[in-house]
Amino acid sequence: MPVLYSNRTYIFEMTSRVRGERGHIVFDFPHMLQSLPNIWCMIETKNLTKVYNPKRTPYTAINDVSLSLEEGKSIAMMGKSGSGKSTLMHLLAGLDSPSSGEIYIDGANLATMSNRELNTFRNHSVGFVFQAFYVMPYDTVFENVALPLRIRKCSEQDITARVTSMLEEVGLADKQHTDTIDLSGGQKQRVSIARALVTNPKVVFADEPTGNLDSETGEEIENLLFRMQREHKATVIVVTHDADLAQKCDEMIALKDGELVDKTDL
């Protein structure tokens, strides 16, 4: 245990295992912390690999990916169709498990979590905009967006306020009582975006969130994602084929055949 020596200096008493000697190491913590950059790694992977159908027809979709993504940054994920972008996003969000390697989100090792802990973690920390929307077709727009708040057991008043304001943000206020099956593709995509953002998650994964939208609506959704980053300090990871959107992000990662490559190699 460290001993507080003065209001800025700690002493660690250490015993050398080899020689059995005792000695002191003095750390000047405030001084050390000032010299460190104020960053926190929100997502880190080590040697991440995903093999689909390992027994019958193995296919390595993610191959030895090690990366670290800083808190509060926006990151564009690019790569050709089939390069593994959705697979990597699902792994990072704890929606699928890797064949080998490690994933840490906000300091937590996903592999050590029970299913219940993983569900709570996803509900509290992650917003996921699926490429294929995965909205509930026979529920109303309102109920689709309210789902993560109901899981959290928020009050009815809180749910109404947050869902209504989120639906306004994505331009679907007038559709809140419509069954989702009756919406257009772009409107379903916006429901999926509203559902992902209504909880103000720490990490937003958006898998081609503007793929089905006209350029004007697409730009509004992009702005919404960047606003989440700015106002809620969210880390935003967005899969896109759109070079303009990628340019607007703080960083870009590129995948080719399941491996991280330099963006110039795409």
**Contact residues for Mg ion, defined by CB under 5 A:** 86, 131
Q: How many CB atoms lie within 10 A of CB 140?
A: 17
Residue in 181, 182, 213, 176 with CA at minimum distance from that of residue 195: 176
Told to check if 86 binds ligand ATP by CB under 6 A, we report: yes
Told to check if 53 binds ligand ATP by CB under 6 A, we report: yes
What is the Cα–Cα distance from 241 to 81, expressed in whole angstroms?
9
Report the residue number whose CB is nearest to Mg ion: 86
**Smallest separation (angstroms) from ligand ATP to the CB of 88:** 7
**Smallest separation (angstroms) from Mg ion to the CB of 238:** 12
**How many amino acids of this chain bind ligand ATP (CB under 6 A)?**
13
Q: Kindly tell me which of 50 and 195 has the beta carbon lying closer to ligand ATP.
A: 50
Residues in region 118-147 near ligand ATP by CB under 6 A: 131
Told to check if 84 binds ligand ATP by CB under 6 A, we report: yes
Rule CB under 6 A: choose which of 69, 85, 144, 245 binds ligand ATP. 85
In this chain, which stretch among 52-60, 68-76, 178-186, 246-254 interacts with ligand ATP, using CB under 6 A?
Answer: 52-60
- Computed from CA positions of residues 192, 197, 203, 206, in that sequence, does the dihedral angle turn out positive or negative? positive
- C-alpha distances in Å from residue 72, one per residue of 60, 218, 236, 247: 30, 22, 7, 17
Type of residue numbered 75 = I
User: Residues in the site for ligand ATP, rule: CB under 6 A?
Assistant: 52-53, 59, 61, 79, 81-87, 131
